[in-house]
Structure 1
Amino acid sequence: MEKSKVLSIDSIYELLEKKTDLEKRLNQINMSNLIYKGMRDCKITFIEAPTGIGKTYSSLIPSIVEIGLNNSKILYLTAKIVLQDQLIKKDLPNLHKIVEVDFKYGLLKGRSNYFCWLRFDEAFRTHGLIYQNELDSIRNWARVSRDGDLNEYDDFLVHELKDVISVDYEDCPGRKCPYLLSGACHYFRLVNSLNDLDILVSNYHTFFFNLINGSFPFDFDHILMDEAHHLPEILSSACTRQISKGSLNYFLPRGFALKIVDREPDILLSVLNDLKSLENYVNNLKISYENFFDELQNYCIDPKINKDSKIVTFHKTLSFLEKKGNEIIDISKKILKEFDEWEKFFQKVGTKGLADAKLKYYKRKIDFYALAISDFLSLNDYPNFSYSFSVEKGYLSIEPVYVNGILKNFLDLQPPKSVTLYSATLTPDKKTFSYLENELGFKADNKIVYESVFNYKKQAKIIIPQNFNIDPKSSLFSTQVAYAVERILDDFGGHALVLFTSQKNLNETKRLIMSKKRKYRYFFQGEKPNIQLVEEFSNDSSSVLFGLNSFWEGIDVPGSSLSLLIIDRLPFPNPNDPMMIMREKNEGREVFNKSYLPNAKLSLRQGFGRLIRSKNDIGVFVILDFRVLKWGFLELFRPCDILYSWEAELVRKFVWEGE
């Protein structure tokens, strides 16, 4: 960026007012100044910025100023692909054009989104007869593609082909790859170009994955963490391990030993005699895993142990599994020792790097599985980690009960000068950040909760029908919810988003509504891709969209299509979630106030945020759970008027006539 064209935050906003229809928003400018202060002073900043403030411009504008003054590098992290696309395709190009300065920006996705020539060659050998036309077409596309982003080709790509022609971290020979050496590797070219950028957009999973496996390939100075309310969940996911006998068979298929050397004929001839003994070891390992998981499954479906839960959480070691578990660990050690000998041999004779990469891949996998079994046998670091088994899916999970301290540990691996966390909902009560700080173990130097730009007194009403007082735990609840939703939709005339906390409640409502004559178009989550459902719902203003968890946030439908929002019950975390079971065991009665309640308030605020998306929107929020009258939930909706009965005429006048 040219120093002579460095602009101030105020001057950029003045340009935006002149050249676009962006209206001046005081809190948007204040947020930009606070983010810039955090960058300048090298501080940690937490910001809650409700919908309508303009969070992306609020964070990008101080970034541009900081780049201009100090040649800083900015890493912008998101949780959702939708926001990534908005930044790269809309917000950054618009700002670049308007401020007329030469800052560079780009996008880094997870490795599996990018084409790999080496894996393509292997796919052609194994899938060429079935998919020859498709593979020929992909080859032609890859030759001209700049970044090799497979999403560019997504409309035409057979799903199973994408999995076998994309970059695989575990299977990559790195600098010894012939395609990297020839300059043909798309991913390496992309990564090599990143430090030419001033702003890099990426996602949390890619960021944490790279840090776990070495380093992030962009030398950033400052990190912007958007959609930061997802951080606890994402950090937990990054540190969770899952194993099953099925996944082991996937990673160690029949003939796996041959795969280590089949791309290096000279090496292959030297190790032919060792292949059979290695395959025998691995076959024994697979048998041991099958026996282990079969016994674990039988234990978990025993009615004396588990009545009807789909997930079993363990609080004590299972002595009857020790013999089989130790057998797995012993065989794994023998295989790893054999691999060490192969590694020495490879170093001695020299390889092209392909065999080394495969060998390291299998070593990591076998070690990963053996360590998970060892930790499970001893319940290592219990009760800070939860150990559970999914009866339905057959996998063993080991996940952290608390993530406090994990974010700091990650950032210490590649320390930034400043970190800014922001979202529309970071506080359960719209007041303090103590819940987030405790969850993350990460304290802020600067923190603020901005007021909404919307006039909720005039734009929204909350309705809690007191005649609908069915206990959400009652077996009759899902049926009564279905009848209530049907009646409300008929009275109002569509234009609605209906959010559910369980598949059972959604299914019951769908069954009832679809049995009657249709008055509007109905869209149910799961029938089509989410993006397509939201688009069709937005384009048909009288339709109704029914959704589950993923529709509680991220849906942006301004205008009359979404004038009525209904939820079936308060979105408390699932008490059968292993993490919540462990928290309850650790915290006792305090778990409700420490975990259940703040989680429910944050989720409810996210859900409510779907209703009012602009200053022209008017809508009604109906809550079919009388428990909302307790625990301070109503304070979240001030200054909205709260009604305690469903009055169709009054609601219609409010929404359609503004009365």
Structure 2
Amino acid sequence: MSDSADQPLSASTGELLSAAVTAIGGAPRPGQVAMAEAVTAALEKERHLAVQAGTGTGKSLAYLVPAIRHAMATDSTVIVSTATLALQRQLVDRDLPRLVKALAPQLQREPTFAIMKGRNNYLCLNKVGQASLEPDALIDESEVSWLGRQVTRLHDWANDTDTGDRDELDPGVSDLAWRQVSVSSSECLGASRCPHGAECFAELAKAKAQDVDVVVTNHALLAIDALSDAMILPEHDVVIIDEAHELDGRITSVATNEISARSLRLAAKRAGKLGAEGRDETLDSLADDFAVHTSLMEPGRWTNIDEPTRGMLVGLRDALWSLKNTIAAPPEGESTNDPERFAERQNLNNHLGDLHDALVRILDVFGTEDPASHDDVVWIERSSRDADTLAVAPLSVAEMLHNKLFAEQTVVLASATLTVGGNFDAMAASWGLPKGGWDSLNAGTPFDPKKSGILYTAKHLPTPGRDGLSDATLAEIAGLVTAAGGRTLGLFSSRRAAEQAAEAMRPRLPFDVMVQGEETLGVLVDKFSKNENSCLFGTLSLWQGVDVPGSALSLVIIDRIPFPRPDDPLLQARSQAADAAGRSGFMEVSATHAALLMAQGAGRLLRHVGDRGVVAVLDNRLVTKRYGSFLRASMPDFWQTTDPQVVRGALKRLVESP
């Protein structure tokens, strides 16, 4: 920081926010002011804060201004964490550059900021060097031709890029290709041991993030920092989590381990090139046994294992440990005479350790026979491309976050959708917020949902079933879209439903009907926003983050309440655990999951103060079931009706209005 940071900071949050809004040509918003003051109070009192700030509130400025003020007043760094790359880019490329220039005249100096991503977002020069020496070292033989051109382009790019940042590669490459030139934090050798440590892209990015006021990162890296003993992020005492409704899922993902026959075979293949004394062949053979064994088992959760399965896992665990010990002992002089080979040895050693530890974790689950006492959930996931994956994930991340995140720093959690059933309690419980140690604020929205939007529930339609969309439902969609003159975003519970609806609508309607998957999501959304009379149908990716203000969108259709799949092993286990504890697993897990998505989906409608329209839910359970009121309370407070004639009339008037 600057030496001037110890000078008293006289500007208030209100003054700084006003200067920022004026500089960027905005207008004062009561919700934004209320949120900024609440964030400031939370940082000063060191109390956690949960804030719901609807579309149009301007929540980014409402937390960035207090964050910068706090960082400069205390000569510290504030961490801002997001769930999506889109918001990360918005903050770093648009919001912060404009904000620091606006605030500089009010402060002792211009605030500073940087971005930090996980190590696997950057090219690993050591891995690129290895792949150059052994082109097929990390690629399964059946995939060499498919990946060849992409990997070759990555090698060429490695000689040109200044940052090694995957986001700057245009056009991009597949995840599988990127894995050939990147490493996870656990696979990294460390800058001091790596032959390319001095020029490492990830280390250079990390260095830029030291000693700045605001560091923008993502939930995954935040989780790694909180859960590991190593210090990944710069030292800090404040974390601001935007898109906080995604926190539970992202933390769970980081804390999940997986084992597959493919990962075992590739590890054995890598080991064979380093001289594994035959232990690579043992692992390869056991990988084949694993593939056969798991293929005979039903996908889904394991609540217990039989002795043959336990024996198979123990054999794999021991083989990995034996191979790891062999690989960890390099021939004398290898580190000096062949540093690239030595680096690959250390990298593989770390990877084998991860695979071994995953199996230890899985076996530990079944050290206790009672499934109700398990802290982790184990399941088999079946994929047509990668065959079977054995996964283990935490039953809950609440205790982990309680001890590792909330006990260590002041945390502000913000999102457009945090209240479930009308309050913050469900989200607070899923995060593990300490009782009595947090405050909340619903900053509202500049829109008036009752005057701007209608929530229509098609009560007369049959309850959705498993056989796809009914003829009555398809007729309802056609009638609504016709009344709206196109202008429809269709949010469907499955890809099959979206495609069925599109296939049925194209011959019936005089409008372009686009379906997710036909082109990249960005291209489809751009076409939809520019063609006022078009329709865009899709699944989960469209429920969140799609921003189409104006007349291009006046109807959002939701085909059914988005309850999680009943066979989702992790959510099923969490629901059963809630029931066992005397709570309602359905309400705590399934209904809460659906409520958040319903709120996100309905939030696509009103993106600007002048927007008007209808959210049409084609699932009668929203008004016929007791839990329907819980779901409706989680959505914007629209005017509500079940009368199809009223809704069609309203949509036609929107088309006719200037």
TM-score tier, shorter chain, comes to 0.7 to 0.9
| Superposed CA offset, 1:199-237 (max 9, x none) | 110101122234445222312221100000111111211
Deviation at residue 482 of structure 1 after TM alignment: 2.9
Equivalent in the alignment of 1:306: none
SS at match of 1:48: strand
Give the 5 Å matches for 1:640-659.
640-647=638-645, 650-656=649-655
Q: Does 1:191 align with 2:206?
A: yes
Q: Residue 338 and residue 16 in structure 1: after superposition, are their counterparts in 2 closer, same or farther (change >3 A)? A: closer
More helix, by proportion: 1
| Superposed CA offset, 1:503-547 (max 9, x none) | 232222122124x16522222111222222212211212111111
Deviation at residue 427 of structure 1 after TM alignment: 1.5
Q: Residue 546 and residue 21 in structure 1: after superposition, are their counterparts in 2 closer, same or farther (change >3 A)? A: same
Gaps of 5+ in 2: 137-144
Question: Is the Cα contact below 8 Å between 1:329 and 1:374 reproduced in 2?
Answer: no
Q: Residue 526 and residue 375 in structure 1: after superposition, are their counterparts in 2 closer, same or farther (change >3 A)? A: farther
State how far apart, in whole Å, the 1-side matches of 2:366 and 2:350 are. Answer: 25
Q: Residue 329 and residue 14 in structure 1: after superposition, are their counterparts in 2 closer, same or farther (change >3 A)? A: closer
Q: Does 1:103 align with 2:111?
A: yes
Q: Does 1:43 align with 2:47?
A: yes
Amino acid at match of 1:43: R
Q: Choose the corresponding residue for 2:193, options 176, 195, 219.
A: 176
Equivalent in the alignment of 2:222: 207
Deviation at residue 400 of structure 1 after TM alignment: 1.9
Deviation at residue 612 of structure 1 after TM alignment: 0.4
Equivalent in the alignment of 2:306: 318
State how far apart, in whole Å, the 2-side matches of 1:218 and 1:330 are. Answer: 38
Deviation at residue 63 of structure 1 after TM alignment: 1.3
Give the 5 Å matches for 1:437-448.
437-443=428-434, 444-448=437-441
Q: Does 1:294 align with 2:292?
A: yes
Q: Residue 56 and residue 380 in structure 1: after superposition, are their counterparts in 2 closer, same or farther (change >3 A)? A: farther
Equivalent in the alignment of 2:350: 361
Equivalent in the alignment of 2:400: 406
Equivalent in the alignment of 2:139: none
State how far apart, in whole Å, the 2-side matches of 1:171 and 1:472 are. Answer: 49
State how far apart, in whole Å, the 2-side matches of 1:225 and 1:79 are. Answer: 9
Question: Is the Cα contact below 8 Å between 1:114 and 1:148 reproduced in 2?
Answer: yes
Deviation at residue 457 of structure 1 after TM alignment: 1.9
Q: Does 1:21 align with 2:36?
A: no
Equivalent in the alignment of 1:242: 258
Give the 5 Å matches for 1:54-65.
54-65=58-69
State how far apart, in whole Å, the 2-side matches of 1:258 and 1:52 are. Answer: 57
Deviation at residue 127 of structure 1 after TM alignment: 4.2
Question: Is the Cα contact below 8 Å between 1:523 and 1:545 reproduced in 2?
Answer: yes
Equivalent in the alignment of 2:142: none
Amino acid at match of 2:500: E
SS at match of 2:170: helix
Equivalent in the alignment of 1:385: 376
Amino acid at match of 1:529: T
Q: Does 1:141 align with 2:141?
A: no
Moved more, 67-76 or 284-293: 284-293
Q: Does 1:465 align with 2:458?
A: yes
| Superposed CA offset, 1:170-222 (max 9, x none) | 14353122332xx3222222212321311110101122234445222312221
Deviation at residue 424 of structure 1 after TM alignment: 1.1
Deviation at residue 356 of structure 1 after TM alignment: 5.7
Give the 5 Å matches for 1:113-132.
113-127=121-135
SS at match of 1:27: helix
| Superposed CA offset, 1:333-368 (max 9, x none) | 43344456x279789999956266235324414423
State how far apart, in whole Å, the 2-side matches of 1:104 and 1:552 are. Answer: 34
Question: Is the Cα contact below 8 Å between 2:126 and 2:343 reproduced in 1?
Answer: no
Q: Residue 372 and residue 479 in structure 1: after superposition, are their counterparts in 2 closer, same or farther (change >3 A)? A: farther
Moved more, 345-354 or 198-207: 345-354
Let me know the Cα RMSD of the aligned residues. Answer: 3.0
Deviation at residue 105 of structure 1 after TM alignment: 0.7
State how far apart, in whole Å, the 2-side matches of 1:68 and 1:348 are. Answer: 45
Equivalent in the alignment of 1:540: 531
Equivalent in the alignment of 2:586: 592
SS at match of 1:390: strand
Question: Is the Cα contact below 8 Å between 1:318 and 1:377 reproduced in 2?
Answer: no
State how far apart, in whole Å, the 1-side matches of 2:110 and 2:369 are. Answer: 52
Q: Does 1:508 align with 2:500?
A: yes
Q: Choose the corresponding residue for 2:488, options 482, 488, 496.
A: 496
Q: Does 1:226 align with 2:242?
A: yes
Question: Is the Cα contact below 8 Å between 2:605 and 2:613 reproduced in 1?
Answer: yes
Q: Residue 237 and residue 116 in structure 1: after superposition, are their counterparts in 2 closer, same or farther (change >3 A)? A: closer
State how far apart, in whole Å, the 1-side matches of 2:470 and 2:494 are. Answer: 9
Deviation at residue 644 of structure 1 after TM alignment: 1.5
State how far apart, in whole Å, the 1-side matches of 2:273 and 2:551 are. Answer: 61
Equivalent in the alignment of 1:270: none
Q: Residue 33 and residue 580 in structure 1: after superposition, are their counterparts in 2 closer, same or farther (change >3 A)? A: same
Equivalent in the alignment of 2:97: 93
State how far apart, in whole Å, the 2-side matches of 1:68 and 1:351 are. Answer: 48
| Superposed CA offset, 1:474-518 (max 9, x none) | 63645543332223212321001000112232222122124x165
TM-score by length of 2: 0.87
Equivalent in the alignment of 2:426: 435
State how far apart, in whole Å, the 2-side matches of 1:343 and 1:140 are. Answer: 30
Deviation at residue 403 of structure 1 after TM alignment: 1.9
Deviation at residue 373 of structure 1 after TM alignment: 5.2
SS at match of 2:398: coil
Q: Residue 391 and residue 318 in structure 1: after superposition, are their counterparts in 2 closer, same or farther (change >3 A)? A: farther
Equivalent in the alignment of 1:285: 283
Amino acid at match of 1:75: I
Amino acid at match of 2:590: Y
Equivalent in the alignment of 1:305: none
Q: Residue 484 and residue 603 in structure 1: after superposition, are their counterparts in 2 closer, same or farther (change >3 A)? A: same
Question: Is the Cα contact below 8 Å between 2:101 and 2:110 reproduced in 1?
Answer: no
Gaps of 5+ in 1: 260-274, 301-310
SS at match of 1:175: coil
SS at match of 1:97: helix
Moved more, 458-467 or 27-36: 458-467
Q: Residue 364 and residue 639 in structure 1: after superposition, are their counterparts in 2 closer, same or farther (change >3 A)? A: closer
State how far apart, in whole Å, the 2-side matches of 1:358 and 1:474 are. Answer: 47
Moved more, 280-289 or 238-247: 280-289
Deviation at residue 120 of structure 1 after TM alignment: 2.3
Q: Residue 518 and residue 654 in structure 1: after superposition, are their counterparts in 2 closer, same or farther (change >3 A)? A: closer
| Identical counterparts, % of pairs | 23
Q: Residue 62 and residue 404 in structure 1: after superposition, are their counterparts in 2 closer, same or farther (change >3 A)? A: same
How many aligned positions are there? 620
Amino acid at match of 1:543: S
Amino acid at match of 2:377: S
SS at match of 1:34: helix
Equivalent in the alignment of 1:217: 233
